[in-house]
Amino acid sequence: MEGPPGFERLREKYGELFDPGVSAAGCWIEVDPAKPPTIPILVAQVVSKLEESRAASIEVRVAGTALGVVTRASLEDLEGTAAGEAVPVSSGDRATLAGESSQFRALRYACPESGCGKEKFRSFHDARFLPSCGTDGHRLMELCE
Ligand SMILES: [Zn+2]
């Protein structure tokens, strides 16, 4: 599949944000392939664009080519209620998309194995459900400050 330089790499980097069932959206954000934003920054941009446009989904483009589409549903999946465990409704710091986009804060987890470098993002921290990078033999990811 042909794309602008860095296209495949960016698609992989942001892959977990995209809703695979949606291929196009009316609103979009351009990503600079020379200086791609980190996932939390891109998420913050998408969330503010969702709020501003009232759209249901935002296409992320690089040099005019769609990388993928982020929907409200795919953002909620990203919050990853691990193992299907319900998050207590009262957990006050859980971010929502309902009008408080400035409060959205992604937490970054990194694989502690040297040379791995895999990262995942959550919008809340639950020490019982740390993400893993998916590589056999690697420890659970650690929350980065
Ligand atoms: Zn790892």
Q: What proportion of the chain, given as a percentage, has pLDDT over 70? A: 79
What phi and psi, each to the nearest 5 degrees, are found at residue 85? -70, 130
Cβ neighbors of 138 (< 8 A, separation 6 or more) are: 111, 112, 113, 116, 132
pLDDT digits (tens, 9 = 90+) for 39-53: 888 988 888 888 888
What does the pLDDT average to over 81-110?
Answer: 50
pTM tops 0.75, yes or no = no
pLDDT digits (tens, 9 = 90+) for 53-68: 888 899 999 988 999 9
CA of 49 to the centre of ligand 1 (A): 32
CA of 142 to the centre of ligand 1 (A): 11
**For residue 74, how far is the Cα from the chain centroid?**
8
The band of 2, judged by pLDDT with boundaries at 50, 70 and 90, is low
